[in-house]
Amino acid sequence: MMFLRLALRELKKAGSKLVAVFFILVVGFLGPLFSSALKSSVDTYIGLRSRQMLSADIAVSSLRELTPEEDKSLLDLTKATRTTNELEFMTMARGRDVSTLVEVRGVAEGFPLSGEFQFEDKSKTSSAAPLLAAPIAWVFPEALAQLGLAVGDEVAIGQTKFEIAAVVIDGPGTSRGVGFAPKMYIGLPFVKMTGLTQFGSQVYRRKYIELPKGMDVPSTAAKIKETLADPDIFLRTPADSMASLERFFGFYNLYLVSISMIVFALSWVSAFYIIQVFLQERLKNAGVLMTFGASREASGLVSLAEVMIVMIFSLVVAAVIVVGMVALAPLAFGSLFPIGFVLRLGLGDIARMFAITVVSAIAFAMPVSIRLRVSTLQDLLSETAGGVGRMTRRQAILSYAPLVLVFVLLSIWLMRSWQQALQLTGGVFAALLVGWLLARVVFRALFAMRKNTPGFARLVLLQLARSRFGVNLCFVTLVLGTLVLNLVPHLLKSAVAEIEPIQGKEIPALFLFNVPEAVAPQLGSFATERGAEIRFLSPMILARLMKVNGESTRDDGFQRFPVRLSYREKPILSEKITSGEAFKGPFDPTTSSLPEISMEENFADRNGFGIGDRFEFDVQGVPVEGRVTSLRTVKWTDFNPNFFMVFQPGVLDDAPKTFIANVNIAAGEQREQLKSKFQYDLVRDFPDMNVIDISRSLERAMEIVRSILGPVRAAAWIAVAMTFLILLGVIAHNLRLRTREIEIQKLLGADAGLIRRLISAEYFVLSLVASVLGAGFSIAMTLIVSLGILDLPAKIDYGAFAISVVLTVLVTTAIANVSARRVLGLRGTTRRL
Amino acid sequence: MILSARDVRKSFPVGDEGALEILKGVSLEVDRPQTVAIMGRSGCGKSTFISLLAGLDAPTSGTIRILDKELAGLSSRELNTFRAKHVGIIFQQFHLLDHLNALENVRLPLDLNRVVDSDARAVAMLQKVGLGHRLEHFPETMSRGEQQRVAIARVLVMKPEVLLADEPTGSLDIKTGREVIDLIFQLTESEKLALVMATHDVKVAERCERVLYMDEGVLSDRRPATFQ
């Protein structure tokens, strides 16, 4: 207790000397605490919502009706306590004069088995009974906006009109759709009346099953898969239904944790340095305690208690700030949160960080404890206690190893993957090491430059060239800070570059799919009459890839999902053959043994396919073979009908197929009107056909990208701000340590202005070199990540490069100037000398 | 025997293989409470000898016994406890803890050694050294003379039998130094202590019962020819 009291008194006295370290530690704690809050909030949300999202324990979907035998074995295997059914299909819904693509969900009695509908007016229900009683629809708000309708209006689906009874903002149930069309719920008895579910339509039939209490979901699902071994039957469990959400948050988590841990590492290294200086100064006090009978261990305990108090206090302050941040996050980024998701910092998160903090405190106090152990009492009491007790290399490694361990453990916990955590730790420590080595090289070079440098500049170079720990630390902080500051804009520019060319370019107005073969020939004139033009009308044949080079693809998963094939004579505008040869006209069995296939390059790369590979497909029961004779690049963002695999003509011409095509409408004032009319007439005359409004979809995609970029950019900017805050702490501390030196300079005739200019110039040079190097590294990393890992075109944001360098130099110099003013303004020269 | 040092040698490694011998077989015996001055020029080894007598460092060879206990035979923990109870050390630089006020500094050794009634004893000792009116004052608000008085009070509050002083007035002006020396002698006499003091001040040395001279690591009761 006495040692704790001593520690508290010493800390109280140290006061301003520890403000910097406290500040830096708070900054360091913010990232991991926030990431931790996000991670556990997502875990909690997924745990609570997964069954509710699926609305059952297991959902079985198929494009065909299950046979009575399959149905029976399904019920036998699951011992289902309750079941309900649903039909799902995509179609065009029509308003008064506008139509749009929607995902229709026809639900049966008993739906949902769990979970509930949440309406725009905040009301909720766990029963879809009203949908079964009358032709009404519960519609998602996006569909209403696109159709220009409101509650009480009528919407036409196929041959039936439904009254819009409510606006749903969250509804239970899984879906096979790709998610670009808004959902619309109707009662199952009314689905047939729409006339859209006849033979040949792409309609998913789904059975939702509730298992008896205590029955294991994954093993039951595995048994069903084994028993109903038809690739056309798909199973989903609550865990599967949350997979995409987990992936989405997984991406954010990885990004946030990476940035947080870089800032954390910077703050830890800086705090470690300042605490070591503080504890070294306090070694003499430990010596005094020992002269009066305290053991070495007990004297060391005072140091440990001091570190522990500072770190825990910093953690508490950081936790309070994060509580505020999580409260404000929904205001800034609430649109990205799924309904029902609550971001909060739990006691568990704080408890885990507390444990990490306690271990860190021990790690921070370790070097001084070792020094205390290896020093004689006389050394401790000597005037230069800071230089005593030099550790051996082994002792040094022993004293710093716990810090690395703390970092790895924290990364593993936050990233949920020890591989990623080790990669991050390796990357961060390699960056620190490289930064450190660079600092030595740069400062040596500056020292060499001093000979030919005149007066003032020479003094600046000499100051820098001393290459002390603190200066090196500033340098590393600046390099890593500018790296983070630059990397995000560069990577974002590369990512957005994929979408950017589309903006402002003339893109097709509409994209048609599910065009029946019988309708295809009429489309041209239908379009011309309405001021539109059909382009690239392309056949689409559903097939299953059965064998590659004679080997079954069953294990590769190809047989589970249909592949979409087409045939055309030559590449269209958005395609370019990169290797192999173009088709030699239609297939002629008398001259060639196998039909030719042209394959998209990235698809081939991903799957390890290449020219010469032989493929065997099942095209609706008919085996079709082909050989890859060319690879081609496809510019998908041109929104033309493109395919991974294209046959030469003369092979698939007679296969059952639908068509896809673009609709081009000339630019001009009438374009939107013509588009709207074309879409409406098309859906009215050909209700089986589906249309996507490309410009609206593109706008929506850009909206999503922008909303995702918001928090990504915010996190990067916060990280940069944190880096500058750490820098502020380190510079202030460095200058405080130089108080005596500054006083001597004053005694030797330097006025305060000159000293301030010297310090400012010193940090100007330091920040200029470090920020150029950091920004340079970011360019190299962008090239590696974009070209090597993400396979994106590498786009360098030179504006960000320049801004980051100027900003870093300005902020650092300003911080140095302000800190210098503070030190120069201190009273009592003789006492400090 | 209160204090005995026999053939004490101390050398420090210099460079890779060499060694600098600071003390070359120093012996000293103090068998009753008396005052002993060790004089010598700066760097002659006086401070090193005092630190060895205090057990702050270990001799390279030779033996040191205090109150018939051989210091080399004590573990680090035992040495700390022994020193705290029997040996007081006054440093040139005071070594006060600047975050503790005068009373807390003096009470510190009592608390560390779980002595009861520490507050009253510390107050009494501060009054004895003339600082009863500055109990709550922190070192930085005191003069150097007052700081040294606090340091002396902190040493004597444990009632040691042996008092070791290393240039106790080295960082004080003449007048303050004289006051501090007066105090040390007064307390040494009243508390019946053995005092071994390293000093280069002849006037201070002359007040001691024995004066020894340290020159080039050798201790002698004869004044060396080179000594001014």
Of residues A778 and B137, more confidently modeled: B137
For A304-349, how does the pLDDT look when each residue is reduced to its tens digit (9 = 90+)?
A: 888 999 999 999 999 999 999 888 887 777 666 766 778 888 888 8
Q: Averaged over A208-220, what is the pLDDT?
A: 88
Tell me, what's the pLDDT at B30? 92
Phi, psi dihedral angles at A488 (to 5 degrees) = -65, -50
Q: How far is CA A154 from CA A142, A150, A151, A191, A580, in A?
A: 16, 9, 8, 16, 55
As a residue count, chain B comes to 228
The answer to whether A61 and A225 are in contact (CB under 8 A) is no
In A, minimum Cα distance to B82 occurs at: A293
Choose, out of B23, B50, B56, the residue to mutate when testing the contact with A (most A CBs < 10 Å).
B56
With tokens 């305060």, the residue in question is: A752
Cross-chain CB nearest to B56 (options A9, A296, A381):
A381
Beta strands in A190-315 (DSSP E): 204-210, 233-236
Using a CB-CB distance cutoff of 8 angstroms, which residues of chain B are in contact with residue A289?
108, 112
Beta-carbon separation of B76 and A2 below 8 A: no
Is B55 in Cβ contact with A377 (below 8 Å)? yes
**Residue A15 banded pLDDT, cuts 50, 70, 90:** confident
Nearest residue, CB atoms, B80 vs list A2, A295, A381: A295
Give the minimum alpha-carbon distance from B225 to chain A in angstroms, rounded to a whole number: 31
Left if phi > 0, otherwise alpha if psi is -120 to 50, otherwise beta: which for A743?
Answer: alpha
pLDDT digits (tens, 9 = 90+) for B140-179: 889 988 998 999 999 989 899 999 999 888 877 888 888 8
- Burial class of residue A790 (count of CB atoms within 10 Å of its CB; 0-12, 13-18, 19+): middle
Nearest residue of B to residue A295, measured between CA atoms:
B77
List chain A residues with CB under 8 Å of B76.
Answer: 295-296
Q: Is A549 on the interface with B (CB under 8 A)?
A: no
Contact B158 A292 (CB under 8 A): yes
Whether B84 sits inside 8 A of A383 (CB atoms) is no
Sign of the torsion formed by the C-alpha atoms of B76, B81, B83 and B89: positive
Confidence bin at A694 (pLDDT 50/70/90): confident
Element at A661 (helix H, strand E): strand A658-665
**Cβ of A381 and B81 within 8 Å?**
no
Q: Residue A833: what pLDDT?
A: 41
Pairs of residues, one from chain A and one from chain B, whose beta carbons lie less than 8 Å apart: 62
**Smallest Cβ distance to B112: which of A294, A376, A383?**
A294
Q: In Å, what is the CA distance from A406 to each residue of A304, A360, A409, A764?
A: 17, 6, 5, 34
A567 by DSSP, 3-state: which?
Answer: strand
Shortest CB distance from A378 goes to which of B56, B80, B93? B56
- The answer to whether B84 contacts A284, with C-beta atoms less than 8 Å apart, is no
Instruction: Give A 350-389 residues with CB within 8 A of chain B.
Output: 376-378, 381, 383
pLDDT above 70: residue A824: yes
- Residue A706 is predicted with a pLDDT of 66
* Res A703: pLDDT: 67
Distance of alpha carbon A215 from alpha carbon A227, whole angstroms: 18
Q: Is the pLDDT of residue A387 over 60?
A: no
CB proximity A293 to B under 8 Å? yes
Residue type, A615: F
* Cβ contacts of B84 on chain A, cutoff 8 Å: 291-293
pLDDT value for B209: 93
CB A415 within 8 A of CB A254: yes
Q: Does the distance separating the beta carbons of A383 and B80 come in below 8 Å?
A: no
Chain A: residue whose CA lies nearest to B52 = A378
Chain B nearest-CA distance from A22, in A, is 19
Q: How many CB atoms lie within 10 A of CB A788?
A: 9
Closest Cα in chain B, distance from residue A310 (Å): 16
Asked if the model's pLDDT at residue A481 lies above 70, the reply is: yes
Closest to A220 measured CA to CA, from A55, A49, A58, A52: A58
Taking contacts as CB-CB distances below 8 angstroms, the residues of chain A near B95 are 284, 287-288, 291, 381
Report, as an integer, the average pLDDT of A365-381: 82
**Any alpha helices (H) in A498-625, and if so which ranges?**
520-529, 601-607
Does A376 contact B89 at a Cβ distance shorter than 8 Å?
A: no
B81, B91, B111 member nearest A381 (Cβ): B91
Q: What is the mean pLDDT of residues A83-98?
A: 87
pLDDT at A806 over 60: yes
Q: Which residue of B has its CA nearest to A7?
A: B99
Helix (H, G, I), strand (E, B) or coil at A96: coil
Among the ranges given (A273-282, A454-463, A545-554), the one the predictor scored with the smallest mean pLDDT: A454-463
* Reported ipTM: 0.71
CB contact under 8 A, A2 and B111: yes
Q: Would you call A13 and B99 a contact, using CB atoms and an 8 Å cutoff?
A: yes
Name chain B contacts of A291, Cβ cutoff 8 Å: 54, 56, 80, 83-84, 89, 95
Q: Do A13 and B98 touch (CB under 8 A)?
A: yes
A residues 246..285 contacting B (CB < 8 A): 284-285
- Determine, for residues A9 and B99 on separate chains, whether the beta-carbon distance falls below 8 Å: yes
Contact A288 B95 (CB under 8 A): yes
A727-751 pLDDT, tens per residue? 788 788 777 777 767 766 665 666 7
pTM of the model: 0.67
Residue of chain A whose alpha carbon sits nearest to that of B144: A831
Please state, in angstroms and rounded to a whole number, the distance separating the CA atoms of residues B23 and A246.
74
Greater confidence (A157 vs A715) lies with A157
Nearest beta carbon to residue B99 from set A10, A290, A383: A10
Check residues B72 and A170 and name the one with the higher pLDDT: B72
C-alpha closest to that of A147 among A100, A102, A183: A100
Q: How far A258 CA sits from the closest chain B CA (Å)?
A: 41
A325-349 burial, b at 16+ Cβ within 10 Å, e below that, comes to: bbeebeeeeeebeeeebebebeeeb
At residue A410 the predicted structure's pLDDT band, cuts being 50, 70 and 90, is confident
Considering only CB atoms, A293 lies closest to which of B80, B95, B99, namely B80
Question: For residue A829, what pLDDT is reported?
Answer: 42
Q: Are A168 and A138 in contact (CB under 8 A)?
A: yes
Structure token pair of residue A131? 């949908």
Residue A363 has pLDDT above 90, yes or no: no
pLDDT tens, residue by residue, A709-729: 676 777 777 777 887 888 788
Least Cα separation, residue A390 to chain B (angstroms): 14
Tell me which of A384-388, A468-472, A602-606 is least confident.
A384-388
- Helix, strand or coil for residue A189? helix
Q: Which helix (H) or strand (E) holds B178?
A: helix B174-191
Which SS3 state, helix, strand or coil, does residue A706 take? Answer: helix
Residues from B in contact with A at Cβ < 8 Å: 51, 54-58, 76-77, 80-81, 83-85, 89, 91, 93, 95, 97-100, 104, 108-109, 111-113, 140, 154, 158
The highest-confidence range among A237-246, A271-280, A439-448, B210-219, by mean pLDDT, is B210-219
Contact residues on chain A for B111, CB-CB shorter than 8 A: 2
